Each structure stands twice: as structure tokens, then as C-alpha cells.
Copies of this chain bind each other. A is one copy, B any other.
Amino acid sequence: MDKRMARKAAELLKKVREKKPLVHSITNYVTMNYTANALLACGASAVMAYASEEVEEMVSLADALVLNLGTLTLARVEAMSKAGKKADKRGIPIILDPVGVGATSLRTGAAKRLLEELPIRVVRGNPSEILCLARQGTNPKGVESVHPVEEAAKAALNLAREHIATIAVSGKIDLATDGKELCRVYNGHQMMGYMTGAGCTATAVIAAFLAVSSSPFEATAAALSYFGLAGEKAAKMSDGPGTFRIRLIDALFRMEEEELRLGARIEITRAMG
């Protein structure tokens, strides 16, 4: 395990709590309450405006922008594009969560358009979504993955190089790459697969870390280990996915920086291929 990265994770968590970055999310209606609560539990601030009439003004106050394709509409894609351009002008990081890409042409088209138009720093998806983005698979199960993480490693690498971005793939072991380095995050718990929005929340947490870091790759690895470790802690106090979801918010809130430094299990390797 990489001790430097574990230390970095703890440092970034401390920074999030000190700076309380405002994360503006244009996101789906299913999980927006949970991701807002998760951001507050991390120590960040959250705002979820999505109307075309106000996204530019709102993103002008923000420290990071989340674009999440769940429960998408055409109007929301326009608002995302508008907000993203403003975020670009202001130099704040943008993260894309391509929920359900490959399942419908609306989502696939939106993901492609946003990736082309905007300097997206991080994309976080499940293996099927990342494979779809790299035109190497389909998404037969809507917003769930049917592929194991390692199958998406090559696709992630290609995407990272094509878009000069960090690509993160969530799964039993999380994976992230910026095209040069590749990390595997061993923190996490299977219970995350039985709640809705675990992926969306990982994305939101990464956004908070991105807002206080100059390295999208490090911010992603750090956030994923923090989120995964909180999941491990939550699982110990849970009787099922209901209590797990609640305890996960508590665990994000209570995580001490030293605890994260000791518990983060991040492995860094050179990206091959």
C-alpha cells in the first residue's frame, strides 16, 4: 500500500473541512438528497441548482461542479453545458458521472457532448459505463454494471489519455487512472451495492476533494479511499442497507484524519498499455 497517498488522503480531508468548498451539483432527482447530506457530512457545502436560468450564477459561487446524468432530460443537458462553460472560465474543476450511459442515446449523446465541450477533470462511473464511454460495451442493466472492474481498466486508460482526465471505475476494488499512473483502492464494502446512489455519492465526495487539490488523480484516489473506509466502518454498525446508508453519513462525518491515514488502502502502479 502507498503510504504517501494515504497521508495525502488525510491531508485533503483536513483541507475539505477547513475550506468547506461549495460543490454545485446538476444531478439526478433520485439521489440528490443523499449526496447533499454526504457533502455536508464531509465538511463541504452543497447546492443543487439545475435551471438553465440560474446555473451560471450559481456555479460562479462554487468551488467544483458535478455533472451527473441520472434522470436526465434534454433541458438538463443544456444547463450542464452552460454551467460547465462557466466553470471552465472560472477554472473550477468539473467531474462527470455518466449514470446509465450506454442505456439510452440521450445519455450516451450527453456524455460525449460534455466530454467534447468541457475540460472535464474526472469521470467516475461503474465498469459498464466506462466501457460504454470507450465504445467497448453496452449497458444492458440501466444504471447498474454487468462488468467487473478489471475489465474496464484498459478502457479507463484509453479514455484518460483521450480526454486528458482522470477516469475512476467503481467496483469491488476501485480503480483510477490519469493515463500515466493507475491506482487501486481496496477500501469499500459490498453493502454499497445494495443502496441507490453509492456511485453518485462517490462522485460528489471526489468533487469536494478536487476543489481543494491541484491533482485530480490524487484527489480521486484520496476521496475513494475515504468514502470506502467510511463504508467499512458503517457496515460494522449496520443490519442491512437501510441502516448502512445512515451509518455511512455518520462515518463520513466522524472519520478522523489520522484514522484515514492509517486505514486508506491505495496501491499505485505505472499505467501499462
Contact = CB atoms under 8 A, between A and B. Distances in A.
Interface of A: 22, 24, 28-34, 36-37, 40-41, 45-51, 53-54, 57-58, 61-62, 70-74, 100, 103-107, 139-144, 193-197, 237-243, 245-254
Give how many copies assemble into the complex: 3
Nearest to A51: B73
A96 to B, nearest CB: 18
Contacts of A250: 238-243
Nearest to A50: B71
Given A49-B71, A141-B45, A142-B47, A61 B242 contact: no
Nearest to A242: B249
A104 B57 contact: yes
Residue of A31, A61, A245 most packed against chain B (CB within 10 A): A61
A154 B240 CA distance: 39
A46 B196 contact: yes
A251 B27 CA distance: 29
A72 B47 contact: no
Contacts of A243: 246-247, 250
Residue of A28, A31, A240 most packed against chain B (CB within 10 A): A240
A46 to B, nearest CB: 7
Contact of A22 (B41, B61, B106, B142): B142
Contacts of A62: 142
